[in-house]
Amino acid sequence: MANDTSVRRLDLGYFVRPAVETGGPEPRVEPVLAYLVRHDRGLILFDTGIGAADPETEAHYRPRRRALPEALAAAGVALADVSLVVNCHLHFDHCGGNPLLGGRPILVQDVELATARGGGYTFDELLDFPDATYEELAGEAEIWPGVHIIPTPGHTDGHQSLVVRQPDGTVILAGQAHDFGSEFASDHLARRAALDGVTQPLPPYRPWLDRLTDFDPRRVLFAHDCAVWEPSSD
C-alpha cells in the first residue's frame, strides 16, 4: 500500500433540486463534490463536476459551476497532472469535466457505459468526446495498490465507489451510493441490527454494504453531502 496516499475534496459547485424530487415541500440546494486521490503512482480524480446541459435541464436544476481547472489549481495541481479518472456514474453532474481530460483512462462499469450510450441518460458530448478513453470494468477491481473500485448499484445499475486505504484508515468515496451521510448511517445500523439478531421487522440495507464493511472504513465521503460518516468509538 502507498504510504503517502491522501484524499482531498474538491468543491465543483451546486445545483437546486426541485421540491418534486426532494420528497418534501421545499427545494434543496446540494453540493457537487469531487475527490482528488494522491498515490505513489499518480493522481486519481473521482468525478469531474457539472457538465453543460440543455436549456430545460439548466432551468430545472439551476446549477452553479466551479470550473474544474480552478478547483484543481486550489489543490496545487493541473489537468495535466491527473493520471486516472473514476466516475461513480455518468450523469451530467458527475462527468461534466471528463472532456477536459481526453486521453486519460476513465474507469467505469461496463453496464454503466452501455446504459449511458443507450440514450436519454446523459449528454452525448460529455460521453463520447474526442480522445475519450474508457476502461470498462465488470465488477470489483484493485486498480492500484490499496485502491479498489467496488460496484454499489442503486442510484444507477452501474454505480461504483472507490475504496482508498490510507495509513490512518480506509476512506470510501461513495459518490451517490447514498445521497446523504445520514442515509449511509441508517443502512449501517440496519445491517448491525440484522447481524445482532434483532427481531424483525427491520429496514433493509443495500447488500453491497457487506463488502464495503470488509474494508473497515474510517471515513465515508459523498458526492452531494459535505457530511463525513465515521464509525462510533469502539
- pLDDT per residue, tens digit, the chain (234 aa), is 445 789 999 999 999 999 999 989 999 999 999 999 999 999 999 999 999 999 999 999 999 999 999 999 999 999 999 999 999 999 999 999 999 999 999 999 999 999 999 999 999 999 999 999 999 999 999 999 999 999 999 999 999 999 999 988 999 999 999 999 999 999 999 999 999 999 999 999 999 999 999 999 999 999 999 999 999 865
Q: What is the CA radius of gyration of the chain?
A: 18
Which three three-digit cell numbers place residue 49? 463536476
Do residues 10 and 33 make contact, with C-beta atoms less than 8 angstroms apart?
yes
Which three three-digit cell numbers place residue 171? 476512506
Cα–Cα nearest to 162, from 31, 34, 21, 4: 34
Q: How many residues does the chain have?
A: 234
Give 51's DSSP letter: P
Say what the pTM is: 0.96
3-state secondary structure 77-93: CCHHHEEEEECCCCCCC
Q: Are strands 82-86 and 42-46 parallel, antiparallel or unpaired?
A: parallel
